[in-house]
Amino acid sequence: MANLPDVRRAIVKDVLKSSKDGKVPHERIWKRYTSNVALGVLDGAPENERERVAVTAKRIGVSKSLVQSLLDEGHLTRRSARIKPVLSEKQRAQRVSRTLLFLDEKTCEFEPMYDIVHIDEKWFNEDIDGRSYLLLPNEEPPQRHCRSKRHMPKTMFLAAVARPRYDYQRKTMFDGKLRIWPLVEHYTAQRNSRNRPAGTVLTKIRNIPSIDRGVIKEFLLTAVIPAIKTKWPARHRGRNILIQQDNAKLHDSSHGPDDAAAGTADGWNICMFPQPANLPDGNVLDLGFFTSIQNIQIERPIYSTEALITAVIDAYNRLSSATLDDVFLSLQNVMICILQSKGGNAYMLPHMGKQKLRREGRLP
């Protein structure tokens, strides 16, 4: 009995106990006892040893079909866990203090976040490796080819968003979508060819070869800040407008005197607001809006940089202001979780049911 797996040993003990009470079953013992006993043994097995069905079945000494049936019947659930950064005590304190900036001291409710602009960069791929299709029995999935799955063609984009609200001067909704810019350039032919002489400025575009501090700074001064001044609701122009971005090395040069001059020109007060380290879920773009753009962008086939730019900009424009507002509400949920975990990141973001609350007019 010492050499039996945990489940079989538990079954034998259960049968011996029942036999003492005169309740020895006549049907197949394995069929009757395995499911209930397997759940009891699983409860004692470490979670990190229950990643796959085959590994779990081998760990407790049952068949793979039994573990799969427990999964299908709802006795087991499949959950995912992602690696999160290790936080120091200083970083945990910064996360808490950052969250408290958005809480009203008197009511302990969140500020509406109308004076902050979230900006960030993201690579968008022309395609993804795995796609699934709904096919008829006589159909075959389309053949897809690429030179290298590891080096999928991609382009970096810079996006800027704010929280949607009603613009009383324009008498329409301000959707919060300031703009999204591809970080690309028109390039000049370096050599002669039968198609064009050297020095010809080509109409095609390509990714900027090296995206450094200067490139990000140029887009900030010539694109982001002018877009804010053009689209910002007049009712909120007299306030301090904060541009939030992460503390990547590319953004080190975004806090110089020329940035301050551009932000304060023409009576505006626009300044940078760097977010703490290891806080990617503190930016609405990283939190979910970039994913929403990508889910729409990958719906169409893309075979060039120009087509990718068109697809991403079209996806950005198609997203509604309600989707962007939902991500801001999720950001407030993240802040609540940060306070509850004392600045930590070991939390699961709860579901609010935003669409139902929006239909009932009960959104916070």
Q: Return the CATH number at 211.
A: 3.30.420.10
Q: Is residue 143 part of a domain?
A: no
Host domain of residue 58: 6-72
- Whether residue 79 is contained in a domain is answered as no
CA–CA dist 264, 272 (Å, integer): 12
Could you tell me if residue 364 is inside a domain? no
| C-alpha span between 323 and 234 (Å, rounded) | 23
Helix (H, G, I), strand (E, B) or coil at 242: strand
182 and 252 share one domain: yes
Strands 116-125 and 241-245: parallel
Judge if 53 and 181 occupy the same domain: no
Co-location of 53 and 158 in the same domain: no
Q: What would the pLDDT profile of 79-94 be if each residue is shown by its tens digit?
A: 888 888 899 999 999 9
On whether both 95 and 29 belong to a single domain, the answer is no
Residue 231: inside a domain: yes
CA distance 264 to 268: 5
- Asked if residue 138 belongs to a domain, the reply is no
Is the domain of 325 the same as that of 232? yes
Contact 144, 109 (CB under 8 A): no
State the total domains in the chain.
Answer: 2
Is the pLDDT higher at 114 or at 303? 114
- Stretch 220-240: mean pLDDT, rounded? 92
270 and 317 inside one domain: yes
Percentage of residues in the chain with pLDDT exceeding 90? Answer: 40
Residues 20 and 155 in one domain: no
The full length of the chain comes to 364
Residue 229 lies in a domain: yes
pLDDT band at residue 122, thresholds of 50, 70 and 90? very high
Q: Which of 5-9, 255-259, 340-344 shows the lowest per-residue confidence on average (mean pLDDT)?
A: 5-9
Residues 160, 242: one domain?
Answer: yes
